[in-house]
Amino acid sequence: MDIHSFFKYYIKIRKGEQEQNMENALIAPAQYVFLFIPTIIFSLLIPIIGVAIFAYIMALRMAPLAKAAPDKRFDQIPQRIFNVLKIWLAQYRQPRYRTAGIVHIVIFFGFLILSIRSCSLVIIGLAPDFVMPGFDGVIGHIYNVLKDYAATGVLIACCIAAWRRVVVKPARYAVPAKYGKDHTAEALFVLGLISTLMISESLFEATEVAANAKAGLHVEFLAPLSLVWFFRLMLMAASEGVLQGLHIIAYYIHDLTFFFFLCFLPLGKHFHVITSLFNVFFMRVRRGNIKPVRYGIDEDALDQLESFGVKKIEDFTWKHLLDFYSCADCGRCSDNCPANAVGRPLSPRFISIKGRDTLFKNYPIYPYGAAFKKSEPLIGSVYEEDEIWSCTTCGACEQECPIGIEYIDKIVDLRRGMVDEGLVPQSLQKPLKAIEKRGNPWGKMEKKRAEWTSGLPEGVTVKDITKEPADMLYFVDSITSYDDRMQSIGQATAMILAKGGADFGILGKDEKDAGNEIRRFGEEMLFQNVKQMNTEAILESGATRIVTADPHAYNVLKNDYTGLPPVTHISQFIAQSVKSGALRLKSAQDNKVYTYHDPCYLGRHNDVYDDPRAALDAISGLKRVEMERCGDRSFCCGGGGLMLFYEPEEEQRMGVLRVEMAAKAGANVIVTACPFCLVNMEDAIKVAGLEGQMEAIDLSELVAQHLA
Residue 641: band (very low, low, confident or very high) from pLDDT cuts 50, 70, 90: low
Q: How many angstroms separate the CA atoms of 271 and 284, rounded? A: 20
| For range 71-94, the mean pLDDT | 96
**Which domains are seen in the chain, by residue range?**
3-76+98-267 (no CATH), 311-420 (1.10.1060.10), 439-579 (3.40.50), 582-705 (3.40.50.10700)
Taking 60 as the threshold, does the pLDDT of residue 95 lie above it? yes
The pLDDT tens digits of the residues spanning 204-238 come to: 999 999 999 998 888 888 999 999 999 999 999 99
Residue 5: band (very low, low, confident or very high) from pLDDT cuts 50, 70, 90: very low
Residues in Cβ contact with 653 at an 8 Å cutoff, skipping those fewer than 6 apart:
342, 638, 680, 683, 684, 687
For the chain, the average pLDDT equals 93
Residues in Cβ contact with 117 at an 8 Å cutoff, skipping those fewer than 6 apart:
147, 201
pLDDT of residue 17: 43
DSSP-derived letter for residue 404 is -
The pLDDT tens digits of the residues spanning 407-444 come to: 999 999 999 999 999 999 998 999 999 999 999 999 99
426-438 and 524-541 helices, crossing angle to 10°: 30
Strand partners, 695: 669
| For range 55-84, the mean pLDDT | 96
pLDDT of residue 66: 95
Q: How many angstroms separate the CA atoms of 380 and 400, rounded? A: 28
Strands 593-596 and 37-38 turn out to be unpaired
Residues in Cβ contact with 373 at an 8 Å cutoff, skipping those fewer than 6 apart:
361, 362, 363, 364
Taking 60 as the threshold, does the pLDDT of residue 15 lie above it? no
pLDDT of residue 579: 96
Q: Would you tell me how many other CB atoms lie within 10 Å of the CB of residue 703?
A: 28
Taking 70 as the threshold, does the pLDDT of residue 398 lie above it? yes
By C-alpha distance, which of 563, 514, 557, 71 is closest to 293?
71
Q: What is the largest CA-CA distance in the chain?
A: 112
Residues in Cβ contact with 257 at an 8 Å cutoff, skipping those fewer than 6 apart:
193, 196, 197, 200
pLDDT of residue 9: 43
Residues in Cβ contact with 367 at an 8 Å cutoff, skipping those fewer than 6 apart:
60
Handedness of CA 473, 478, 483, 489 (dihedral sign): negative
pTM for the model stands at 0.92
Residues in Cβ contact with 32 at an 8 Å cutoff, skipping those fewer than 6 apart:
38, 39, 40, 248
| For range 174-202, the mean pLDDT | 92
